[in-house]
Amino acid sequence: MQIIDTLVTLVSEALDSAQTSGSLPTAGDVEIKIERPKLAEHGDFSTSLPLALARSTRMAPLQIAEAIANAVPEHFMVGNVAHAAPGFVNFTLSTSWLQSQVNVVRNAGDEFGSVETGKGQSVQVEFVSVNPTGPLHVGHARGAVIGSSLANVLDAAGYDVQREYYVNDAGNQMRVFYDTVYSRYMQAAGHDEPLPDPAYPGEYLQELASDLLNDLGDSSVSKEKSEAIAVLAPESLKRTLKDIRNVLSSLGVEYDQWFHESELLSSGRFDEVLNFLEDSDLVVERDGAKWFAATKLGLEEDIVVIRSGEGGPTYFGTDIAYHHEKFMERKFDRVINVWGADHHGHVARMHALLQAFGLDPDRLTIILNQIVNFSNEGESLKFSKRNNVMVTVEELIEEVGSDACRFTFLSRSPESHMEFDLSLAKTQSSENPVYYVQYGHARLASILRTAAERKIDFDTADLSLLTHARELELIRKIIELPAVIERAAERLEPHHLPHYAMDLARSLQRFYEDCRVVSLEEGELEISRARLQLVEAAKYALHRTLNLMGMTSPERM
RNA sequence: GCCCCCGUAGCUCAGUUGGAUAGAGCACCGGCCUCCGAAGCCGGGAGCGUGAGUUCGAGUCUCGCCGGGGGCGCCA
């Protein structure tokens, strides 16, 4: 962030000159950290460097603070530098600089908030990636929301981002799925075909099968089972994926690519990568199966990659090829996988795998989001169709709406074991933080509409008129956005967005309360213009934030 | 048995990689609409599971204990 970088430079210069002038003894290299004080009277930024230097310089921290504060060079961004006990140097931004930021924001427009920390780096975010065997379960919504917003944030931080859904269209689960579709298809056509064992339960497959019968006709009924499946399977997959895509889309989730597991097998990549591992002496045969020799890389157990018996690859087996493809073929600098916490046992294996490829394991980050407990009126919900409780993401969106849903999931960090209270998320809708934030946006829009109706032109304005505490508070909050985005991207924590959104909304509501924007009073046209520019800047910041969260920015509510 | 995550206000959650007097929403109580939206604003109470340790300084780091969730498949 630019402000902090500037302050680091100023402190560094102050340190040098204090040491040169002899007011401070020289000390070894220290890292200058700039923080944000919690209390307003401590300024906008501070550093506790004096406390860190106390030991090596054998001086009282407060004295060091004073020496540094006195040596900080003048800078137009900084209005005041102070030292404070027990050993802080506090910086307050200058009013004139804050005022000037209104136009910086307005000029950036919809792009305001973007940073370049990820410039030149490609990153893939893979999320949801649920087996295409039916509708998305509510348990998958959290990962979808986190993954999509994280991708948005990384994009805003300058990364070249690819959003990907990994379609597990090979393997055991799908065979069971197709076998069940076949049985349901035959049953729909009036034949007494038993369900396979195991089979996929649920009405979804019955509906799917009867749709297939209607749309494709009964020509597959008389075929051999394998031939019938050859016809039904691709169509079942296509339709199920389409349902998944539509539901995700209604949740504000879009992908750049849907990558099919089956491609890894048909392209020969799987065999190729397996050969590579064999050549690296990392594959062993045992009990009729092939294993990835993870124990040679420090893990506790080897992992099966090719089953005994019919010899198909395991999920982990194709994942080897998949990640090889991500790094070696598509050459992503970083890959982020968003998984449910129940996959945590898989994490160490993936990192071992990168090691086997000779790659830095840090290039792969796996975000595990903990399970969500849904409740209603304080009562925990057990999902089952028999209880007639909501089970799919589609139903969840119908119940609480996409915006409220996203905001709720986003405001918790992924590792928290969150509770999602449906009654809270929907019935108290007017008191919901979701609507508080959106109301702020609608209100800003409303002010601008009023200004337009009254034909107030505010292309130019005297921003030095913005001196009210609420005006400056709002400007300070607006210009935090780049730092929020930078932090969220760096730490892969999209949950900072909703909290920032709340803060920003509060600042603008307080501003609105105390500062009349569009005034009819004589002689207040100039201040109206300046405030309208501020309103416009606030609207850009709030809209950007809502946008990154995948939420709508209503002009009216 | 081993591994991962969590424990902060009555409830749901933040807490800027160890900094100053720990925050927000909901719920509760009391105020505020004569021109831009009261889905709002202002004021009010209460909290870091527990015991040690590291440090100038711990909600944050280390270890133990208590409590909750998840994982240890030739499933994905």
Containing H/E element for A95?
helix A95-108
CA distances to A140, A378, A381, A419, A425 from A375, in Å: 16, 6, 5, 7, 10
- Taking C1' of B17 and every protein CA, the nearest residue is A491
Does residue A244 lie within any of the structural domains?
Answer: yes
ipTM above 0.90, yes or no: yes
- CB-side neighbour CA atoms (13 Å) of A436: 20
Question: What is the percentage of chain A residues whose pLDDT exceeds 70?
Answer: 97
Q: Is the CB of A58 under 7 A from strand B?
A: no
Q: Is the CB of A375 under 7 A from strand B?
A: no
Residues A86 and A188 in one domain: no
A393-400 vs A225-250: helix crossing angle, rounded to 10? 20
Convert the pLDDT of each residue in A198-236 to its tens digit: 888 888 999 999 999 999 999 999 999 999 999 999 999
Q: Is the CB of A230 under 7 A from strand B?
A: no
Containing H/E element for A173?
helix A172-188
Among A169-173, A284-288, A422-426, the range scoring the smallest mean pLDDT is: A422-426
Q: For residue A176, which nucleotide's C1' is closest to its Cα?
A: B75
DSSP letter at A381 equals: P
Among A211-225, A375-389, A412-426, the range scoring the smallest mean pLDDT is: A375-389
Under the banding of pLDDT at 50, 70 and 90, the label for residue A258 is very high
Query: Å between A61 CA and B52 C1'?
Result: 29
Residues 6+ apart with CB under 8 A from A468: A511, A514, A515
DSSP letter at A359 equals: -
Residue with tokens 């969150």: A418
Most confident of A54-58, A387-391, A524-528: A524-528
Does residue A78 lie within any of the structural domains?
Answer: yes
Q: For residue A535, which nucleotide's C1' is closest to its Cα?
A: B36
CATH number at residue A469: 1.10.730.10
A53: closest CA among A28, A82, A86?
A28
Does residue A15 lie within any of the structural domains?
Answer: yes
- Taking C1' of B74 and every protein CA, the nearest residue is A307
Question: What is the percentage of chain A residues whose pLDDT exceeds 90?
Answer: 82
Does residue A139 lie within any of the structural domains?
Answer: no
Query: Å between A230 CA and B66 C1'?
Result: 57
Q: In the prediction, which pLDDT does A422 show?
A: 86
Beta strands in A297-441 (DSSP E): 303-306, 334-340, 364-369, 373-376, 379-380, 419-421
Convert the pLDDT of each residue in A94-113 to its tens digit: 999 999 999 999 999 999 99
DSSP letter at A432 equals: S
Q: For residue A493, which nucleotide's C1' is closest to its Cα?
A: B16
Residues A79 and A181 in one domain: no
Q: What is the mean pLDDT of residues A340-366?
A: 93
Under the banding of pLDDT at 50, 70 and 90, the label for residue A390 is low
Structure tokens at A222: 């008389």
Domain boundary among A250, A281, A305: A250
Domain boundary among A250, A271, A295: A250
Q: In the prediction, which pLDDT does A426 show?
A: 79
Q: What is the mean pLDDT of residues A387-392?
A: 69
How many other C-beta atoms can be found within 10 angstroms of the C-beta atom of residue A556?
Answer: 9
Q: In the prediction, which pLDDT does A91 show?
A: 97
What does the alpha-carbon distance between residue A76 and residue A522 come to, in Å, rounded to a whole number?
Answer: 34
Does residue A60 lie within any of the structural domains?
Answer: yes
Structure tokens at A269: 């990549």
Q: Is the CB of A88 under 7 A from strand B?
A: yes
Do the beta carbons of residue A484 and residue A152 sit within 8 Å?
Answer: no
Q: For residue A450, which nucleotide's C1' is closest to its Cα?
A: B36
Under the banding of pLDDT at 50, 70 and 90, the label for residue A520 is confident
Q: Is the CB of A51 under 7 A from strand B?
A: yes
Q: Is the CB of A287 under 7 A from strand B?
A: yes
Among A90-99, A235-244, A471-480, A522-531, the range scoring the smallest mean pLDDT is: A522-531
A141: closest CA among A128, A123, A159?
A128
Split into its structural domains, chain A has a count of 3
What does the alpha-carbon distance between residue A223 and residue A520 come to, in Å, rounded to a whole number?
Answer: 81
The separation between CA A53 and the C-alpha centre of its own chain, rounded to angstroms, equals: 38
DSSP letter at A325 equals: I
Does residue A330 lie within any of the structural domains?
Answer: no
Q: Is the CB of A284 under 7 A from strand B?
A: no
Under the banding of pLDDT at 50, 70 and 90, the label for residue A387 is low
Counted residue by residue, chain A has a size of 557
How many other C-beta atoms can be found within 10 angstroms of the C-beta atom of residue A309?
Answer: 7
> For every residue of A454-491, which 3-state class applies, written as one string?
CCCCCCCCCHHHCCCHHHHHHHHHHCCHHHHHHHHHHH
A 394-453 residues, CB < 7 A, strand B: 411-413, 415-419, 421, 424, 428-433, 435-436, 439, 442-443, 445-447, 449-450
Q: Is the CB of A15 under 7 A from strand B?
A: no
Q: Is the CB of A84 under 7 A from strand B?
A: yes
Amino acid residing at A425: A
Q: Maximum distance among all alpha carbons in chain A?
A: 97
Under the banding of pLDDT at 50, 70 and 90, the label for residue A47 is very high
Residues 6+ apart with CB under 8 A from A550: A145, A148, A149, A152, A251, A252, A253, A402, A406
Cβ-count burial A52-68 (b if 16+ within 10 Å, e if not): bbbeebebebbbbbbbb
Under the banding of pLDDT at 50, 70 and 90, the label for residue A1 is low
CATH number at residue A74: 3.30.1360.70
Do the beta carbons of residue A528 and residue A519 sit within 8 Å?
Answer: yes
What does the alpha-carbon distance between residue A539 and residue A417 come to, in Å, rounded to a whole number?
Answer: 33
Residues A446 and A536 in one domain: yes
What does the alpha-carbon distance between residue A15 and residue A73 come to, in Å, rounded to a whole number?
Answer: 11
A 186-225 residues, CB < 7 A, strand B: none
**Preceding amide of A554 cis, omega within 30:** no
Beta strands in A202-333 (DSSP E): 257-260, 283-286, 289-292, 303-306
A525-548 vs A141-156: helix crossing angle, rounded to 10? 130
Amino acid residing at A263: E
Q: In the prediction, which pLDDT does A228 show?
A: 95
Residue numbers of the domain that contains A190: 172-250
What does the alpha-carbon distance between residue A513 and residue A518 come to, in Å, rounded to a whole number?
Answer: 13
Chain B positions with an atom below 7 A of a protein C-beta are: 3-7, 12-17, 19-27, 35-42, 56-57, 68-76
Q: Is the CB of A510 under 7 A from strand B?
A: yes
Does residue A83 lie within any of the structural domains?
Answer: yes
Q: Is the CB of A362 under 7 A from strand B?
A: no
- Taking C1' of B21 and every protein CA, the nearest residue is A39
Residues A86 and A181 in one domain: no
Domain boundary among A64, A93, A122: A93
Under the banding of pLDDT at 50, 70 and 90, the label for residue A382 is confident
- Taking C1' of B41 and every protein CA, the nearest residue is A513
Average pLDDT, chain A: 93
Q: For residue A518, which nucleotide's C1' is closest to its Cα?
A: B36
Convert the pLDDT of each residue in A74-92 to its tens digit: 999 999 999 998 899 999 9
Under the banding of pLDDT at 50, 70 and 90, the label for residue A389 is low
Q: Strand A364-369 vs strand A334-340: parallel, antiparallel, or unpaired?
A: parallel
Does residue A324 lie within any of the structural domains?
Answer: no
